[in-house]
Amino acid sequence: MKKKVAIYCRLSDEDRDKQFETDDSMSIQNQKSMLLTYALKQDWEVYGIYCDELPGTSRTRPEFLKLIKDAEEKKFDIVLCKTQSRFTRELELVEKYIHGLFPLWGIRFVSVVDNADTEIKGNKKSRQINGLVNEWYLEDLSDNIRSVLTDRRKKGAHIGAFALYGYQKDPNQKGHLIIDPEAAEVVREVFRLYVQGMGKTAIARLLNDRGIPNPTEYKRRKGLRYYQPKRKNSTLWKYFNISDMLVNDMYIGNMTQGKYGSVSYKSKKNKPRPKDQWITVEGTHEPIIDRELWDKTQEMIAKRTKPCYSGEISLFSRKVRCMDCGYSMSAQIAHGRRYLRCSTAYVSKGSCAGAFISASALEKAVLAELRSLCKLYLNMDELEAKVQLNSDLHTKLEKLNRQNYLYEKKAAEYVKGLRELYLDKVRGIISESDYLVMSKDFSLEKNRVEELVSQTTLEIEKIKEKMKKSEDRRQMLEKYVNLEHLDRTTVEILIDTILVGKKDPVTKAQKIEIYWNF
């Protein structure tokens, strides 16, 4: 029966020559031709060809992810690439798939140019070296790109994917911004209203009452590129829209960039950078706000700024969201009492139910649910049940360890048997044909036992992880059994998100959903 092979092709940055997005690049065509020829020579049946036409990381390439899914479902026997780096340059993924999961799934990996082949036992070191070299390449490439972007920022070129609200990308000059007249007039009005004494929330409410779309919705309607936040009511102006706008010096013609930086070259996640690392170049584009209006605005902001709760960070800061609209609830203080309120209903009537709760009531609700969880996990009956569970897991773990020892011992015996069989052939004790038949049986058994070792090792790791999670959860909850009050550190450790609904006007009941970190 013919082996089924999956061919994987990928376009890399250094050989991209596509004229149009619908065209195959010459690189892709050459890869397909080479790999199809190779597969035919090996007498393999081509199951399918997976092609990623645009460069990207292995974790985001759609055809790569489809290939992995089909491999797990064992739809083919072999993965064939031009080079190992076309499959992935990340050493972590080389180990995860080529050296880990593929053997477990019974998938052979072959790359033609660099002679990587998982069926050849002595080939593993060269594959690992290839993976390490590719990892260095990715890191160097990331450093080079970062260096180029930093240089462009220092020269005042705009390199962002989206133009700031009030501006558009200049179609005639790359990296230059031009004024968007319609949006710019809204920006000017926001600054004028603030200087006239109107508050940020009041300005947001006024814009919403007029039906003026917020920056995201405006760009969507105009067919411009925009970032879509994962929130409801994205058409509304909010307090933070106004607040961010009033302190953005790009509106006076300065180009300030580099406020965020990537966590690493392996991740698309960004994190804020300290202000002293921002890059600002003055006078790079036409200002929307004149200097006099800007200075007056900054002066008023400085006078109005005051710390919430006497400088303390709110107990539930960034943790509580409105159950209706999904926006964060803001902390307020009135008559000496602290509250959390969703401002969506305030800035636009009828758009949200408007959740509202006192900080003390929310703290009581959190403590009550925490005590219930502690009672569930830590009373004597539950502890006895967990002891029994862990006992069962320990028994299973010991059994798997014994099995693994026997499998490894058996595999070593087959290796020894193959060695002795080969020596018998060299000495002339057995014929070449007998050696081939016997060695084939030995190899099949050895491979079968080695696969059992891999499967058992995986089961052992899963049990160890399960035992650790169970113990970690219990130890965490034990610390908070008799907790009387919450503090900010405890909230950060225990709580991921809290959703608060509107209080029922008749029953006075209020729905609260708490999502814990354990």
- Domain CATH for 135: 3.40.50.1390
Q: Indicate left, alpha or beta for 161 from its phi (over 0: left) and psi (-120 to 50: alpha).
A: alpha
Q: Is residue 312 part of a domain?
A: no
pLDDT, residue 52, reads 86
Q: Is residue 314 part of a domain?
A: no
pTM over 0.75: no
Are 331 and 358 a contacting pair, CB within 8 Å? no
Q: Is residue 309 part of a domain?
A: no
- Angle (CA) 11-14-20 rounded to 5° is 55
Q: Is residue 68 part of a domain?
A: yes
Do 251 and 162 sit in the same domain of this protein? yes
Do 181 and 136 sit in the same domain of this protein? no
Do 147 and 162 sit in the same domain of this protein? no
Q: Which residues of 89-122 are buried (b: 16+ CB within 10 A; e: fewer)?
A: bbbebbeebbeebbbeeebbbbbbebebbbeeee
Give the chain's domain count. Answer: 4
pLDDT, residue 386, reads 45
Q: Is residue 311 part of a domain?
A: no
pLDDT, residue 17, reads 43
Domain boundary among 117, 133, 153: 153
Do 117 and 29 sit in the same domain of this protein? yes
Domain boundary among 246, 280, 304: 304
Task: From first to last of the 518 residues of the chain, give the pLDDT tens digit.
Answer: 789 999 999 876 544 444 444 444 567 888 888 889 889 888 999 999 998 876 555 567 889 999 999 999 999 999 999 888 788 877 678 878 888 899 899 999 998 877 788 887 655 555 555 555 555 555 555 556 566 667 777 888 888 778 899 999 998 988 899 999 999 999 999 999 988 888 888 898 899 888 899 998 888 888 876 655 555 546 788 888 898 999 999 999 999 887 766 645 455 555 677 777 888 889 999 999 999 999 999 988 887 654 444 344 578 877 888 888 777 788 878 787 888 888 776 666 666 777 889 989 999 999 888 888 777 665 644 444 444 444 456 777 788 888 888 888 888 887 887 788 778 777 788 888 877 877 787 788 878 878 888 888 888 887 777 666 665 566 666 677 777 888 877 888 888 889 998 888 888 889 999 888 76
Do 234 and 297 sit in the same domain of this protein? yes
Residue 374, phi then psi, degrees to nearest 5: -60, -40
Do 260 and 190 sit in the same domain of this protein? yes
Do 78 and 215 sit in the same domain of this protein? no
Tokens of residue 79, six digits: 């993965």
Do 465 and 418 sit in the same domain of this protein? yes
Domain boundary among 257, 277, 304: 304
Are 279 and 256 a contacting pair, CB within 8 Å? yes
Q: Can you give the CATH number for the domain in which 266 is found? A: 3.90.1750.20
Do 385 and 367 sit in the same domain of this protein? no
pLDDT, residue 71, reads 93
Do 59 and 87 sit in the same domain of this protein? yes
Do 455 and 433 sit in the same domain of this protein? yes
pLDDT, residue 4, reads 94
Do 389 and 414 sit in the same domain of this protein? yes
Q: Is residue 106 part of a domain?
A: yes
Write out the residue range of the structural domain in which residue 139 sits: 4-153
